Amino acid sequence: MSVTTYAHLNPDLAGLMNTSKEQRISFLHEPVWINHHVSSEITQLLNQLLTRPKKARMQSLLIIAEANMGKTSLVGQFSKMHEDKVIEDESNSSTVIKSVIKTDAPASADEKGLYIAILEQFWTTFRPTDTNAKLRHQVLFLMRECNVQMLIIDEVHNLLGGTAAKQRTVMNSIKSLSNELMIPIVGVGTSDAAIILTNDPQHASRFDVVTIPRWSLDKNFRGLLAAFERKLPLKRPSLLHKSDKAPLLLSISAGNIDNLHRLLIECATHAINEDIEEITLDIIQKYTWLKPTSSKRPREIVLDNV
């Protein structure tokens, strides 16, 4: 009995191709990571920060982009590259090493919320009713004990929800953690997050800012499409990077990687359900109504009455 090979797909999808339509469609919604030129450059920057010698004033980084540009996935992938380690000494006493801590900023500018968000990453007991000073002391103790080398704060634009005075308080707390532990801080958020740095020249001078741009119609975007295609469980190649499909995919997604991913999921689902098994130009045109998500308004789903 001959075995069908799918040279257009990643080898690890071979087993999936013999399963049901429902299983393949379910797979489309699994988290996916695609490394590309921008993520590689930012990962290199993060690794450089992580390995720099300790000093009293460590340089930090702010990563900004519009919504759905893959910021959280990028720093999440970086955190996975530096997973926790357990080291045992001669007396069989074990120590957990957490070189990278990733947490979300509190829902609004709040010093206590910041400390609690960090403590939650240690799976330790703490009392939310404790004073800020006591929580701060516990944060410093655990970060030293676990040899934390970098603190990543996602959704840092949340801090804009507080007053200017509260923003300064939280940013001063972040600066203090960096100073005392001699570690870099990495903030991640929307473009508005840069406003936080303009309130104080000291904060602005500590953070380099890197912006993740929208995709444009070039070799990098075509490479991204080819990488996505290798992860779509379709039985026939779609050749998404070709000149008839790439411009349309870029236009519908507006150069936003998460919007592109959602669009490809819709198209691949249709191709599987209808036994087409490839994303054709007609299928892509069918989803031109799938307008990009926006930070200002939700995506509108248009129902077909026909």
User: What CATH class does 37-211 carry?
Assistant: alpha beta
For residue 106, what pLDDT is reported? 92
Task: Please check whether residue 135 is in contact with residue 119, taking contact to mean a CB–CB distance below 8 angstroms.
Answer: yes
Model confidence at 5, pLDDT cuts 50, 70, 90, reads confident
Furthest-apart CA atoms within the chain: distance in Å: 73
Task: Please check whether residue 214 is in contact with residue 254, taking contact to mean a CB–CB distance below 8 angstroms.
Answer: yes
Task: Please check whether residue 181 is in contact with residue 173, taking contact to mean a CB–CB distance below 8 angstroms.
Answer: no
- Tens digits of residue pLDDT in 135-168: 999 999 999 999 999 999 999 999 888 888 898 8
Which CA distances in Å does 159 have to 24, 60, 110, 120, 130?
40, 17, 8, 19, 22
For residue 109, what pLDDT is reported? 87
- Tens digits of residue pLDDT in 64-75: 999 899 999 999
Task: Please check whether residue 220 is in contact with residue 200, taking contact to mean a CB–CB distance below 8 angstroms.
Answer: no
* Signed CA dihedral, 275, 281, 282, 288: sign only: positive
Model confidence at 301, pLDDT cuts 50, 70, 90, reads very low
Residue 35 or residue 4, greater confidence: 35
Stated pTM of the model = 0.88
Task: Please check whether residue 70 is in contact with residue 257, taking contact to mean a CB–CB distance below 8 angstroms.
Answer: yes
Residue 138 has which token pair?
A: 């516990």
For residue 292, what pLDDT is reported? 55
Question: Cα–Cα–Cα angle for 59, 108, 69, nearest 5°?
Answer: 60
Delimit the domains of the chain by residue range.
37-211, 215-286
278-294 residues labelled b (16+ CB within 10 A) or e (exposed): bbbeebbeebeebebbe
Query: Which of 82, 96, 78, 99 is closest to 35 using CA atoms?
Result: 78
- Tens digits of residue pLDDT in 182-220: 999 999 999 888 888 877 777 788 899 999 999 999 999
- Tens digits of residue pLDDT in 20-29: 999 999 999 9
Task: Please check whether residue 67 is in contact with residue 193, taking contact to mean a CB–CB distance below 8 angstroms.
Answer: no
Q: Please check the confidence at residue 305 and state whether its pLDDT lies above 80.
A: no
Query: Which of 248, 246, 245, 260 is closest to 214 using CA atoms?
Result: 260
- E strand intervals along the chain: 60-64, 85-88, 94-97, 100-104, 150-154, 185-189, 207-211
State mean pLDDT over 41-62: 94
* Cα dihedral 14/16/18/23 (nearest 10): -160
Residue 143 or residue 294, greater confidence: 143
Q: Please check the confidence at residue 299 and state whether its pLDDT lies above 50.
A: no
Residue written as tokens 């406003």? 195
Residue 215 has which token pair?
A: 């995709």
Question: Cα–Cα–Cα angle for 76, 80, 81, nearest 5°?
Answer: 120
Q: Over pLDDT 70: what percentage of the chain?
A: 90
Q: Please check the confidence at residue 302 and state whether its pLDDT lies above 50.
A: no
- Tens digits of residue pLDDT in 83-117: 877 766 666 666 678 899 999 999 888 999 999 99
Lowest mean pLDDT among 124-133, 260-269, 295-304: 295-304
Count Cβ atoms below 10 Å from residue 81 Cβ, excluding itself: 12
Q: Please check the confidence at residue 243 and state whether its pLDDT lies above 50.
A: yes
Residue 177 has which token pair?
A: 């953690």
